Structure 1
Amino acid sequence: MPPTDNQGSFLNRISIRRNQVVYENEVEDLEQFQKHVADRLSELFNQPEDAPANDPPETPLSISWFRKLLDIFLCVEAEFKAVVIMGRDANNFTKSPLDRLIPEHLDRSLKALDICTAINHGIDLLLHWQKLAQIAVDSLQRKTIGEGHVKRAKKALNTLLSSIHIDDKENHQHTKSAAAPASSKDHTTIGNLKSLSYSFAKSWSASKQIQAMSSNLAAPRGGEPTGLVVPVYLMSSILVFVMWAMVAAIPCQERTGLGAHLQLSKQFTWAQPMIGLQDKIGEDWKKKEKKGRSGLLEETQMLEKLAKSLVEFAEGFKFPVEVEKAEEVAAQVAEMGEICRSMEEGLAALQMQVTELFHRIVRSRAEALDVLDQVNKIATPVPY
């Protein structure tokens, strides 16, 4: 998704005002930055009910919803650099508490890179599920359904459901108990899950990674100076929130207790919609965490529900199929086909955004490290 017009006009104002080098305008820039973030997040939280038919609102936790969330994050990240990093005297970052907050933010960014990698692997698994569902659709989307078609669909759907219900921690860590009794079909499923974690140690945990990112994320205290402190806290908060939300929705290695890892301050306007979204996602996670689900993504939930119903049909299949039952199955197959099309198109685009996010974080860290390098040179006395 390209940057929005709002972002472009905002960055233009930042550039003009930075050239004017007027303190009052810098304060206004920081306030406008916070307001813009609040407005974008509010749009995501309070979606309009009267959206045009050709541009319907995104269902929360759907692929299109996450694409919008990542678009917002990428825009906010660009604006953050404009108001906090670009053209600013490096001496600003030698003062407390920025001399602590900036390195902490860079450490969170480094951990976010691992999460982006895990999310990309998770999207690969979702695409595998989509292919299995498409096999069932192709088999059952016929005028006359025969026993061979039903068997092929049932095999694909059972593999899909096995993969969805396999416990994340047990299989990502490749425990002996999971692999020992597995049939050839289960070995295939476990092999697909293994692909998610091949670049991580067995002990790596998405949940612990989020916890580490948020453990020292504290809102500015009343006695602390204002200025750049709040924007740095804002950027860290939205970074942690986006990573947390993606881990909750998309299959990742080890997510036990994920719902309890995020604490956001209520004192800022931009934090209110994030807290609302966090509450909703957290409630959904706690409801489904004990059921072995592989994420809260809307399309995954719908695919699982339809797959269960079609497996029940396949297990009780008798030829010829009654007219009423045939119509019911045809409707379910059509719905699954639509989800498959949505996943195939949307997941490819989402994966590109996650990759863009990864590279953006790498570049931004490098730019910030250059600034800190200037700070270190300033702080180092010149030998005579």
Structure 2
Amino acid sequence: MPATEQPSSFLGRISTRRNQVISMDGAHEQELEDLELFQKQVSERFSELVPPSSSDDVSSETFLSIAWLRKLLDEFLCCEAQFKALLIMGRDPSQIVKPPLDRLVPEFLDRVVKALDICNAVLHGIESVRQFQKLAQIAISALEQSPIGDGQVKRARRALNTLITSMAVEDKDFSNSKSAERSWSFGRRGGAGAGSGTATPLHKDRIAGQFRSLSWSMAKGWSAAKQIQAMSSNLVVPRGGESSSLPQTVYLMSTVLVFVMWTLVAALPCQERGGLTTYFPVSKQISWAQSMIGLQEKIADEWKKKEKKGSAGLLEEMQRMEKLSQSLIEFTDSFAFPLEAERQAEVTEQVAELAETCKKLEDGLVPLQQQIREVFHRVVRSRTEIVELLEYTAKASSPIV
């Protein structure tokens, strides 16, 4: 993606400026200029993610689609590279162990650890989306038959009912369950009620046992919403003596990190997300954060709508799959052979649209997983470098006995 090309030029400019600082003794002014450049680029990056305000506008990525999430992660990786350059490159290490950075940097490193947990949880959630896709494809295969008969309709109905029920389980069960650590057993027969038009209570219980997430390894009681809350609880705009360039830089990157993790949790199935919208306030007084605030408000509005209904996430492809599946369930419930030509054409169109959605998931989920893993490894590497720098500085400043 184009955004990945920009950090190198940014790092080059920072490196050049650091060399100038060494010879000019203008460190403070240069740091302020570097911060201003970083803020400007963050603002520009996130403004590119804001969806068009008019339906007449053309955008290559639908809001909260897989393509949009991949662009968000790409922008994050660019910001992360720029942040590390500002914090470490050509700098006297003793600066980051002095107040207030001696508190702000460890807090940032703690947020990174929590972000790693969220990356793991989201990666498991993507596996659940892949199972939703498989159920949808079973229904597609049945309804693509011509002519459509009772057998195909019953098969499609079973798959679609299981799909809709499992989507609700992903969200509601994670919000309310007191069960122990989860494990997946996809492929078991649904048992009683599996062949009926609607899922019976017994069938729903069985589905709940099967769809409590694919390969969940998060600990009992782990909560994505609480993780976001913990990441943002001490995220405060630097003021007074703390408002110099480096504290502002750490605050900016912390805000970007929390926003990206918050968005991933909202978009994809994740363990326990109740009340997610209340956990991430961003000051509206910050100029560079205006685009981010606009995105946050839009995502929060969408989340509130879906939270009332119960949904496995805001991912655009999943929402489309859910809507089409509900419509096709209504068709299977009222099916009568032979099918009228007009109704046949309508169902064929919906099945084709569902097939297109599944194709987008099939093509996009693996690259999305790879990108989340890249984020994971990148922040691990950066955190290690910062920790090593802190340890080196601590040893260098220790008195020789």
Match in the other structure for 1:202: 220
Match in the other structure for 2:188: none
Provide, for residues 179-208 of structure 1, a one-character-per-residue CA deviation record: whole Å limited to 9, x for no partner: xx96467535532324353x2222111111
> Do structure 1's residue 43 and structure 2's residue 48 form an aligned pair?
yes
Q: CA deviation at 1:267?
A: 2.9
Instruction: Tell me, yes or no, if the aligned pair for 2:235 and 2:254 is still in contact at 8 Å.
Output: yes
- Relative to the length of structure 1, the TM-score reads 0.92
Match in the other structure for 2:374: 356
Unaligned 5+ segments in structure 2 are: 181-199
Instruction: Tell me, yes or no, if the aligned pair for 2:101 and 2:247 is still in contact at 8 Å.
Output: yes
Match in the other structure for 2:112: 109
For 1:232, give the aligned amino acid: V
> Do structure 1's residue 11 and structure 2's residue 30 form an aligned pair?
no
Match in the other structure for 1:245: 263
Bigger shift: residues 114-123 or 199-208: 199-208
Residue from 242, 251, 276 that aligns with 1:224: 242
Percent identity among equivalent residues? 55
Instruction: Tell me, yes or no, if the aligned pair for 1:171 and 1:190 is still in contact at 8 Å.
Output: no
Instruction: Tell me, yes or no, if the aligned pair for 2:124 and 2:213 is still in contact at 8 Å.
Output: no
Residue from 30, 33, 37 that aligns with 2:35: 30
Match in the other structure for 1:135: 138
Counterparts in 2 of 1:368 and 1:156: CA distance versus 1, 3 Å: same
Instruction: Tell me, yes or no, if the aligned pair for 1:112 and 1:243 is still in contact at 8 Å.
Output: yes
Matches within 5 A, 1:1-384: 1=1, 3-21=3-21, 22=24, 23=27, 24-45=29-50, 47=52, 56-166=59-169, 167-169=172-174, 173-174=178-179, 183=202, 186-195=205-214, 197=216, 199-383=217-401
SS of the equivalent of 1:59 reads coil
How far apart in 1 are the matches of 2:157 and 2:211? 19
Match in the other structure for 1:178: none
Counterparts in 2 of 1:62 and 1:26: CA distance versus 1, 3 Å: same
SS of the equivalent of 1:347 reads helix
How far apart in 2 are the matches of 1:75 and 1:338? 31
Provide, for residues 17-67 of structure 1, a one-character-per-residue CA deviation record: whole Å limited to 9, x for no partner: 2233353444322211111111011111154879998xx432211111111
Q: CA deviation at 1:92?
A: 0.6
Unaligned 5+ segments in structure 1 are: 176-180
Counterparts in 2 of 1:95 and 1:294: CA distance versus 1, 3 Å: same
How far apart in 2 are the matches of 1:118 and 1:173? 17
For 2:209, give the aligned amino acid: I
Instruction: Tell me, yes or no, if the aligned pair for 2:38 and 2:82 is still in contact at 8 Å.
Output: yes
Instruction: Tell me, yes or no, if the aligned pair for 1:63 and 1:347 is still in contact at 8 Å.
Output: yes
Q: CA deviation at 1:82?
A: 1.0
- Relative to the length of structure 2, the TM-score reads 0.88
Q: CA deviation at 1:138?
A: 1.6
How far apart in 1 are the matches of 2:177 and 2:163? 17
For 2:211, give the aligned amino acid: N
* 4+ aligned runs moved over 6 Å, structure 1: 48-53
SS of the equivalent of 2:49 reads helix
How far apart in 1 are the matches of 2:16 and 2:241? 32
For 1:135, give the aligned amino acid: I
SS of the equivalent of 2:240 reads coil
Bigger shift: residues 11-20 or 78-87: 11-20
How far apart in 1 are the matches of 2:238 and 2:14? 24
Q: CA deviation at 1:172?
A: 5.2
